[in-house]
Structure 1
């Protein structure tokens, strides 16, 4: 059968790992020299014309639609995709690929505007949709998210009455703690109406209107000049798009005072390249994960200076594992509003992201940097870890 021949030919180029394909007629195709570590079980034939599209995208779509099942170790699946996608770098590090342009995101809001009720089902009480920080493995997700906020704010070395900009403030918990605990004045921005409404509710409930202003606004539209003492951005940089990376740093520099501190918390990829086709189509349209070297190069050209780079890769893997478990525990409630394809899509998204962090194809960094040079900062970072 021609379709099976084409699939075998395509997958034979995935020259890493041990796995098997079970076709719709029960025929098995084994790849690798050792015992298969995972299986892709096709329940339906893939039409001939579809096979020439992105393979990982097609398989993910078939999984979402219940036409394909996955058995075995998700970490091994992530490894296969990682080594296949980046073999040009891993085999010959002197060879650089041409980096494809990526369109600017126009509809990222659709991901965050699924509804506060949806996210409330599987996030913690802070509604933090970003990497938590586990001081010990037994901590709850809520405790670890509070740790993350505290860990982030300590790095900024906040002082009373300072002005803090929170780019991508989400549901507002970091802004609230910064105002309550450190006495700073906060401007938080988000492009999600759901987040904007909930964050404003929190501010009003806590009587912090004189300290916190939440805006429904894109960072590109902010007009401040040399106004903020500190800037923080948690889990938003991934969505600006490759074409806007430089613009992002230009805008932060415009708004930050000379010598001001900027804490960037973002997922970064190991290598520059295209966004995963399935993620781009179904999860985060227009997003882009730059590499660490790409970010350092761009920010350096804008006269930002790196003080501290910390990887929280394993923390994000653990966070995602908890989210996946929470999501599956709440799946009956999710099913009341969304269909089975949506549920399988989210399950695949959460599990595959965890696996990607575990195999190191992506990382989570907190970068502490200054606008221009600052010789008044503490000589050590002891204040962060006290």
Structure 2
């Protein structure tokens, strides 16, 4: 089998980038001894996946311990680019693939399955996430407003950027859908004086945020609920709504219902901001070369991406009016590299934290998956294969007869100066 994979020359694997060295199952060495990236194989099947450019399957072999990977993650990702057989955005767009994704979406996003999928990711270990996130544990794209910002500074800049876009005012009723570890919820309450409600499906996050609310003495006007967005009552609308890093879990088939729910929860004239990952291609639902399947299996089960054009279409169907859209794709690439570098610097601590929760074998598997996930996602944003959009929308106001008011229909002003002052 080795000869069939290495035609013509026993020391050369056809198409092998010079940055990569290989150790084959029988001990043969290929590539330069000082190559920055080294792959050590225990099975020929993994080599076949390498030759075929099946990056996702190769990543799965690494997570499962079937091959060993040595090298800095930035070097690994530079080498990975040269292994891809084509553009991963364009390789997952066939009609059969689209039909398969729709069928999968129909069954993947029930109330029970969404709760399970969220807990699969976010309840891995709070202590693990604390090792490589900023002190507020903001687990979404930061906003590097100024050159030289640290991750913590850029995350605070992002929180404030969202609050400014929403034009939060003291006393307003504010809802944060998918509140995470409470970064935006508490920032809005402490810096803008709003009455804030957050919801999450993560039991760990819910407990963490409740402790922060109690410690800060904010219980009179800040609350966190363990609740699905579909179960929120609609009797008392909110003045402003945010959804950050959550709608990727909604599913294509539920997108109209999701934005319809946001519309009904929002007071007439109110503003809603949706911050989430979008597909880089118009037609693909995930990355090809097996990368999307890898993310779905080990990191975000049930996650689905839509192109921004499709997102705006679903938003318009709900009756919301898009008033501002901003692409923060380069910011997310930098955010993910900051996360990746932080994790790489504390691998031993991360391994110990994860092992304390579920044993060393589980810890090693999770750690390998997250190393690839963070660095691979950083590369994907840098290449434009995926993007991150903040979309600000308004619910048009009505007059006393229930008719839409023409002209200025919301609190949104006639220019963007308020966002950047």
- Give the TM-score taking structure 1 as reference length: 0.85
Unmatched segments (≥5 aa) in structure 2: 7-14, 287-291, 356-362, 398-408
Q: For 2:276, what is the secondary structure of its paired residue?
A: strand
Residue among 162, 170, 174 paired with 1:164: 174
Among 200, 217, 220, the alignment partner of 1:210 is 220
Tell me, in whole angstroms, the C-alpha distance in 1 between the residues paired with 2:247 and 2:81: 23
- Return 5+ residue gaps in structure 1 as ranges: 7-14, 30-36
Q: Which residue of 1 aligns with 2:43?
A: 45
Partner Cα separation in structure 2 for residue 377 and residue 79 of structure 1: 46
**Matched residue, 1:69:** 69
RMSD: 3.3
Question: Is the CA contact (8 Å cut-off) linking 1:3 and 1:46 kept in structure 2?
Answer: no
In structure 2, how many angstroms separate the alpha carbons of the residues matched to 1:123 and 1:226? 35
Q: Structure 1's 46 and 362: CA in aligned 2 closer, same or farther, altered over 3 A?
A: same
Q: Would you say the 8 A contact 2:396–2:410 is kept in 1?
A: no
Which residue does 1:85 correspond to in 2? Answer: 88
Distance 2:221 2:85 in 1: 45
Query: Aligned partners of 2:55 and 2:394: how far apart in 1?
Result: 40
Kindly indicate whether residue 154 of structure 2 is the aligned counterpart of residue 148 of structure 1: no
Supply the distance in 2 between the matched residues of 1:78 and 1:152 (Cα, whole angstroms).
34
Asked whether the 8 Å contact 1:89–1:96 carries over to 2, the reply is no
Give 2:284's aligned residue.
273
- Tell me whether 1:194 sits opposite 2:204 in the alignment: yes
Q: Secondary structure at the match of 1:159?
A: coil
User: CA 1:139–1:254 in structure 2 vs 1: closer, same or farther (change >3 Å)?
Assistant: same
Separation in 1, partners of 2:153, 2:338: 13
In the alignment, the residues of structure 1 paired with residue 128 and residue 36 of structure 2 have an alpha-carbon distance, to the nearest angstrom, of 31
Which of 327, 351, 364 is 2:375 aligned to? 351
Could you report, residue by residue, the CA deviation over 1:208-252 in whole angstroms, capped at 9, with x for unpaired residues? 111111101111111124611111011111111222212211111
Residue correspondence of structure 1 range 3-82 to structure 2 within 5 A? 5=5, 22=22, 23-25=24-26, 26=28, 41-47=39-45, 55-64=54-63, 65=65, 67-69=67-69, 72=75, 74-75=77-78, 77-78=80-81, 81=84
How far off its partner does 1:340 sit? 2.4
Q: Provide the rounded CA distance (Å) in 1 between the counterparts of 2:81 and 2:53.
A: 16
8 A Cα contact 1:166 1:232, kept in partner: yes
Alignment of 1:1-386 (within 5 A): 1=1, 5=5, 22=22, 23-25=24-26, 26=28, 41-47=39-45, 55-64=54-63, 65=65, 67-69=67-69, 72=75, 74-75=77-78, 77-78=80-81, 81=84, 83-87=86-90, 99=98, 100-101=101-102, 102=105, 103-104=108-109, 105=114, 106-225=116-235, 227-271=237-281, 272-275=283-286, 276-336=292-352, 337-338=354-355, 339-372=363-396, 374-386=409-421
Distance 1:163 1:18, change over 3 A: farther
Which SS does the other structure have where 2:180 is aligned?
coil
- 1:117/1:234 Cα in 2 relative to 1: closer, same or farther (>3 Å)? same
- The 10-residue stretch of structure 1 (156-165 or 74-83) with the greater mean CA deviation from structure 2: 74-83
Moved more, 189-198 or 334-343: 334-343
| C-alpha displacement of 1:55 | 2.8
Q: Deviations over 1:56-79 (max 9, x none)?
A: 332011222260437645146357
Q: 1:226 to 1:306 in 2, by over 3 A?
A: farther
Q: CA offsets, 1:278-307, max 9 Å, x none?
A: 000000000111111110111111122111
**How many angstroms does 1:3 deviate by?**
10
Question: Helix, strand or coil for the counterpart of 2:62?
Answer: helix
Contact 1:185-1:211 at 8 Å conserved across structures: yes
Residues of 1 paired with 2:310 and 2:38: CA distance? 35
Q: Provide the C-alpha distance between the structure 1 equivalents of 2:200 and 2:277, rounded to a whole number of angstroms.
A: 18
Q: Would the alpha carbon gap of residues 321 and 382 (structure 1) be closer, same or farther in structure 2, given more than 3 Å must change? A: same
More moved, 126-135 vs 271-280 = 271-280
Query: What count of residue pairs does the alignment treat as equivalent?
Result: 369
